[in-house]
């Protein structure tokens, strides 16, 4: 099983190697444009729980101690867990447990900022320095550039986690200010001119957090709570920076060292101060389902803001992955589009996605990181949940097609997972 996964990773990696980066805009002020995309299938698929279980098992085979997935849709709630959430005691993974959601936090930050845009308090195309005078060395960088990862600001985590475990241990209990993190970024060369091309950087959403606090005059956790957590009644979601503990029932996170054969590092307790509004939210699978479905269903933003949020640009060479304003879009093999975000924080991988109408959603988590094969395998839960079992096209009388069962149908080739943090494995 592991061999099959590695072969799929090799094929996908070779494809991505053909084209480095993504298609750039032709001018510094060019806006992202959503390419034509496949339409949502007329009949929505029922989740393929066998394939979803297989995706979770592939995740464990690749090195994760445990994994979970929770789907919500017209046919109800379906969930599956495998492995353990605490290796010391062998505690089985629990679908209700809390965990660190990493860069899914960026979508929380984006919702708050877009609410401020809707209120007329922030303008997407106004320079960041208008709101935070003197913060950045380039007045051309706008709020929109931050939210679409087109600012050119270097990602400070590249140097911070050049050596995965030592880098983590150096910041595990450290408390940074927003300014500290921006200063680390500005010490590195810029990656692109503002607006020219997509280049993922955690720095962008640190600055988003600064704008939220400057405009509202309140700590960002208060704005998360008032604008998202309370309206959606998210009982297991919190932003507790810089507290190190995860309250209540929770999964432990396990970080893979860069060197093969070394023991996993329990990375559960940390300040996550190195990420803050780019990645420090805690939640659970049910709350993430509610959040993504609520967002897509119009409970947090009006239609025009959602349209802005879902205006996308490609992020890689597969032409199946896109980024809008703090939101990813994946185009699955069956033609279904799903919107949400991936998340990586030391010890946890997360996928949280929903269909554009918000009627179907999936949350998946594996309690490991610095293990790209496990992250890619976990992404297979999206295909299983939203595409369901493969079927033969109506009217196809080909004998081979008639005899092909779902067990014999090859699984979709999974492109390597997108990286929200630098990883060495």
Which residues are catalytically annotated?
A: 103
Rounded Cα–Cα distance for residues 141 and 150 (Å): 9
For the beta carbon of residue 88, count every other beta carbon within 10 angstroms. 8
Q: Residues with Cβ < 8 Å from 368, sequence gap 6 or more?
A: 63, 64, 65, 253, 254, 255, 256, 264, 347, 348, 349, 374
């Amino acid at each position: 099983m592991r061999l099959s996964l590695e072969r799929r990773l090799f094929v996908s990696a070779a494809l991505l190697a053909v084209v480095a980066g993504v298609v750039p805009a032709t001018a510094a002020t060019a806006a992202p444009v959503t390419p034509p995309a496949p339409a949502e299938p007329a009949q929505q698929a029922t989740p393929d729980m066998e394939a979803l279980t297989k995706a979770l098992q592939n995740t464990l085979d690749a090195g994760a101690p445990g994994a979970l997935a929770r789907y919500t849709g017209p046919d109800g709630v379906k969930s599956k867990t495998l492995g353990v959430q605490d290796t010391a005691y062998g505690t089985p993974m629990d679908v209700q447990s809390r965990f660190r959601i990493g860069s899914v936090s960026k979508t929380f930050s984006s919702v708050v900022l877009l609410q401020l845009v809707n209120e007329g308090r922030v303008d997407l195309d106004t320079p960041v320095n208008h709101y935070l005078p003197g913060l950045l060395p380039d007045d051309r960088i706008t709020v929109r550039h931050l939210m679409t990862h087109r600012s050119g600001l270097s990602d400070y985590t590249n140097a911070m986690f050049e050596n995965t475990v030592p880098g983590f241990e150096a910041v595990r209990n450290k408390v940074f200010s927003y300014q500290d993190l921006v200063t680390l970024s500005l010490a590195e060369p810029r990656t692109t001119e503002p607006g020219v091309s997509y280049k993922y950087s955690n720095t962008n959403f640190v600055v988003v957090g600064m704008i939220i606090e400057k405009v509202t005059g309140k700590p960002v956790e208060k704005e998360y709570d008032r604008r998202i957590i309370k309206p959606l009644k998210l009982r297991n979601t919190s932003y507790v920076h810089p507290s190190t503990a995860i309250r209540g029932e929770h999964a432990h996170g396990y970080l893979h060292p860069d060197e093969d054969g070394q023991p996993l590092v329990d990375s559960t307790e940390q300040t996550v101060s190195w990420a803050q509004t780019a990645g420090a939210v805690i939640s659970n699978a049910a709350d993430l389902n509610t959040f993504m479905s609520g967002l897509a269903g119009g409970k947090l933003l009006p239609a025009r803001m959602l349209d802005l949020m879902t205006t996308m640009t490609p992020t890689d060479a597969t032409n199946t992955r896109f980024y809008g304003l703090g939101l990813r879009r994946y185009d699955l093999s069956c033609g279904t589009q799903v919107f949400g975000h991936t998340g990586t924080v030391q010890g946890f991988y997360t996928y949280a996605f929903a269909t554009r109408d918000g009627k179907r959603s999936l949350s998946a988590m594996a309690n490991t990181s610095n293990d790209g094969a496990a992250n890619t395998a976990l992404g297979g839960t999206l295909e299983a949940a939203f595409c369901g079992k493969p079927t033969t096209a109506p009217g196809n009388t080909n004998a081979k097609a008639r005899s092909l069962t779902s067990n014999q149908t090859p699984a979709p080739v999974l492109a390597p997972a997108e990286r929200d943090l630098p990883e060495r494995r």
